[in-house]
Each structure stands twice: as structure tokens, then as C-alpha cells.
């Protein structure tokens, strides 16, 4: 490759990497911001590279990505003065007290650059030192490239300059285009299995880039509501959801029967079998531990378990109603107990799948948990027998 070709290739790679970095950084910031401020709006390349407007804070960020890992940004850098001129214009358009300007770069801001005082949470002394240093740098430089931007800064009023510098936050030596993918994966790790994270991230990035292009306005960049991102993450969670959940909890035992539990009282109302009582308790405890483990390990969303319980209730309602319909108007207490015993037997042996996972203990244990909450019952008169006033 000739020297001219190398220069041309490098000059093309740098801006391309910077543009994709902007897209990835915007996605990362949106993922970080969404849980706390889901109604916020993120802007890509409107007034700044990336901006997020929320209820309590608005942040305008200028991004400077470098393909040179050893690059340092001096106080005379055109990137610094162009950014300050942009922010000064933004300040004059009108901002409230909860508005910050962030300078984000993969390079290092050297210690001679006054901006180094502004990382990460500057004090008043830091702000004054940064302001003084910027004024000195603007005055001492003779660069034609930055002359207009430096002049704009120097001609600003003392109040404008102080207000501007007080809002600036520096974040240098940030992860580059490749490394920031890892930060994105950390944000979405909860949404899928570990081995799926990279694929999940690629699918989410593909949607994100397409959404930015869809929203793009020629003279104003793109604005995206964070709720759209939340919806897409939820959609991908369903797509990446494992079809089968692991059944990895051993049998749970307890030395004493849980006699004060409503589900044990419900079983006693229709059978005197101690073995069935023990089995009910084991299934109840094992199902409870298994379900909690799934939620804790982010294998399932609690709303999906609620849907599973709703299906159990629907099935129970149909079966219980059909069994009770067999009772005559003169049914005896023994007749009702026999019906309740039959319904209990049905719940003990049923297998209702959750996704493609089927288990007798999970179904029967979940039924006993519902019985404990009086959402289902075995005896035809279970509500009267075990209501809250009993």
C-alpha cells in the first residue's frame, strides 16, 4: 500500500469508527438511562452528538473517538474549541439549571489541558482553575484553525463563560468502539442467558441503527423515545427466552407438617392420608424454591409465572365445576368429601407445561400454593370452610 493510500484509508476509518461509536454510545446511554427515566428522549446528532432530555437532568454529549490508543488531547486541540463554541451557542439558546455538557473521548486529556480539572465531579475550585486555564490557552494560541472558536469564547461575558464551564463534565480514556460493546452487553445481561448476550446485543444494535435512520431528519438528526427501546428489549427477551426451563431443585422436606398453612388444612378436609399430606408439603416447598430460583437467575419474568398460575386456575375452575355438578341437591358431607378427594387427586397428578417444561411436582406444588391463598380448593365448600373469618 502506498503512503497516499495509507493516509486515505486512515482518514476514512477514523470518521467511520467515530460515527459507529456515536451510535453505540447512544444505545449504551439509552440502556443506562431507561430504568430510571423511561419517558426520556435521546437525540442523536441534533445540537450535540448525543443528548438525553429527562425530567430532572438534560445532558448534551460531544464524542471524540480515536483509533490511536496513545492519542492525547491538548488544550490547543481544535476538537476542544469547536466543542466549546457549540456549547456556548447552546447556552445562549437557553438552558435550565439542570443541564450539563459532557465531553466524552476514548483519548486521554493531558494534564496541561484545563478540562482535566472537570473530571468527574468538579468543585468550585476546579471550575475556576479550568476557566482560568481555558482563557489563557485561548489567548496564547495562534492557530488559524481555532481562531474563530477561541475568539467566540473570549468575547463571551464572564457570566456566560462561568456558566458554561460549571456545566462541563469530562470523561476521557473511555472504552473504544470495540470495547463499548462489552458495556452494552453488561446492560442487557439480565435479559437472556449468558451464551446469548452477544447475539442479543447484535440484534438490539441492528434495531437501534434502523430506528435512528428511520427517525433521521436531514437537518436535525434523530430523536427516539426511550420507551421504544424498552419495548424492543422486552420483545427480544421473548425471542431469546429458552423453550425449556431447568428443573434443578431437589426434593424439599420439612420435619413437621405445616399445620397452620391453609393448603394443609385444605388437604385434611378431604383426606386423612398422612402420606398425601407429606407429598403435598414436599411439592409445595419444591415448587416454591424452583420458581424463586428461576426468577432470581432471570430465567423467567414474574409476569410469566402469574400467567402460568392463571392457567392453573382456569383449568381448576372447569374441573372443579364439573365435579361439583355431579352432586345432587341432597348430597351428604361424605359425598362432598369424595368430590374434593377426586379434585385433589386430579391436581396431584396433573402436568401443565410452562413453556415446554412439564413436571408433576411443579404443577401440584403450584396448585397447593394457590390453595394456600384460597385461589383454588378441593372441597366443594372450601371458601366457606377456610375463608378469612374462619
Dump the DSSP string for 33-91.
HTTT-TT-EEEESSSSSEEEE-SS-EEEEEEE--S-TT-EE-TT-HHHHHHHHHHHHHH
Return the H-helix or E-strand segment holding 223: strand 222-225
Burial class (CB in 10 A: 0-12, 13-18, 19+), 109: buried
Look at residues 43, 42, 25 and name the one whose alpha carbon lies nearest to residue 34: 42
253 torsion bin: left (phi>0), alpha (psi -120 to 50), beta (else): beta
Residue 212: which residues within 8 A CB-CB, separation 6 or more? 23, 26, 44, 222, 224
Look at residues 241, 383, 263 and name the one whose alpha carbon lies nearest to residue 320: 383
Residues in the chain: 390
Residue 103, preceding bond cis, omega within 30 degrees? no
338: three-class secondary structure by DSSP:
helix
Return the H-helix or E-strand segment holding 264: helix 262-268
> What angle separates helix 360-372 from helix 302-324, to the nearest 10 degrees?
80
| C-alpha dist (Å) from residue 338 to 166, 198, 269, 347, 351 | 79, 56, 10, 14, 22
For residue 7, the model assigns a pLDDT of 34
Find out whether 76 and 144 touch, Cβ atoms under 8 Å.
Answer: no
- Residue 348 CA to residue 367 CA, distance in Å, equals 8
Question: φ, ψ for residue 42 (rounded to 5)?
Answer: -110, 140
The pLDDT profile of the chain, 390 residues, written as one tens digit per residue, is 333 333 333 455 677 888 899 999 999 999 999 998 999 999 998 666 899 988 788 999 999 998 888 899 999 999 999 999 999 999 999 998 999 999 999 999 999 999 999 998 899 999 999 999 999 999 999 999 999 999 999 999 999 999 999 999 999 999 999 999 999 999 999 888 888 999 999 999 999 999 999 998 866 789 999 999 999 999 998 888 877 889 999 988 787 889 999 999 999 999 999 999 999 999 999 999 999 999 988 788 899 999 999 999 999 999 999 999 999 988 999 999 999 999 999 999 999 999 889 999 999 999 999 999 999 999 999 999 998 645
Cα dihedral 230, 234, 240, 241 sign: positive
> Global pTM?
0.63
C-alpha torsion 159→163→166→167, nearest 10? -170
Strands annotated E in 65-216: 72-73, 99-105, 108-109, 168-171
Look at residues 70, 93, 73 and name the one whose alpha carbon lies nearest to residue 146: 73
For residue 74, the model assigns a pLDDT of 95
Find out whether 289 and 252 touch, Cβ atoms under 8 Å.
Answer: yes
- Residue 199 CA to residue 274 CA, distance in Å, equals 51
Q: How many CB atoms lie within 10 A of CB 376?
A: 25
Q: How many CB atoms lie within 10 A of CB 208?
A: 22
Amino acid at each position: 500500500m502506498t503512503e497516499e493510500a495509507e493516509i486515505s484509508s486512515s482518514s476514512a476509518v477514523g470518521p467511520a469508527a467515530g460515527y459507529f461509536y456515536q451510535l453505540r454510545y447512544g444505545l449504551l446511554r439509552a440502556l443506562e438511562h431507561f430504568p430510571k427515566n423511561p419517558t426520556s428522549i435521546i437525540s442523536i446528532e441534533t445540537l450535540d452528538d448525543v443528548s438525553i432530555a429527562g425530567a430532572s437532568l438534560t445532558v448534551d454529549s460531544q464524542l471524540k473517538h480515536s483509533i490511536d490508543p496513545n492519542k492525547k488531547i491538548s488544550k490547543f486541540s481544535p476538537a476542544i474549541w469547536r466543542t466549546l463554541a457549540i456549547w456556548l451557542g447552546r447556552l445562549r439558546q437557553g438552558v435550565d439549571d439542570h443541564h450539563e455538557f459532557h465531553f466524552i473521548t476514548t483519548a486521554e486529556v493531558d494534564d496541561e489541558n484545563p478540562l482535566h480539572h472537570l473530571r468527574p465531579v468538579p468543585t468550585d475550585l476546579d471550575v475556576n482553575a479550568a476557566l482560568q486555564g481555558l482563557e489563557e490557552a485561548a489567548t496564547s494560541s495562534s492557530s488559524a484553525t481555532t481562531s474563530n472558536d477561541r475568539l467566540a469564547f473570549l468575547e463571551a461575558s464572564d457570566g456566560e463563560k462561568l456558566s458554561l464551564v460549571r456545566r462541563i463534565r469530562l470523561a476521557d480514556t473511555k472504552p473504544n468502539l470495540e470495547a463499548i460493546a462489552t458495556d452494552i452487553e453488561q446492560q442487557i445481561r439480565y435479559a437472556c442467558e449468558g451464551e446469548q448476550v452477544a447475539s442479543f446485543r447484535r440484534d438490539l444494535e441492528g434495531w437501534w441503527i434502523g430506528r435512528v435512520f428511520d427517525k433521521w431528519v436531514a437537518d436535525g438528526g434523530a430523536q427516539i423515545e426511550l420507551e421504544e427501546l424498552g419495548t424492543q428489549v422486552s420483545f427480544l427477551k421473548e425471542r431469546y427466552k429458552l423453550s425449556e426451563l431447568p428443573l434443578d431443585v431437589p426434593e424439599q422436606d420439612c420435619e413437621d407438617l405445616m399445620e397452620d398453612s391453609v393448603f394443609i388444612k385444605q388437604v385434611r378436609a378431604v383426606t386423612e392420608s398422612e402420606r398425601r399430606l407429606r407429598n403435598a408439603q414436599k411439592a409445595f416447598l419444591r415448587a416454591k424454591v424452583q420458581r424463586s430460583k428461576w426468577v432470581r437467575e432471570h430465567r423467567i419474568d414474574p409476569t410469566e409465572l402469574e400467567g402460568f398460575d392463571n392457567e392453573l386456575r382456569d383449568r381448576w375452575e372447569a374441573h372443579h365445576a364439573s365435579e361439583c355438578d355431579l352432586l345432587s341437591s341432597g348430597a351428604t358431607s361424605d359425598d362432598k368429601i369424595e368430590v374434593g378427594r377426586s379434585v385433589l387427586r386430579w391436581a396431584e397428578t396433573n402436568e401443565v407445561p410452562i413453556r415446554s417444561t412439564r413436571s408433576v411436582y411443579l404443577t401440584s406444588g403450584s396448585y397447593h400454593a394457590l390453595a394456600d391463598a384460597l385461589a383454588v380448593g378441593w372441597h366443594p365448600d372450601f371458601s366457606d370452610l377456610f375463608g378469612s373469618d374462619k
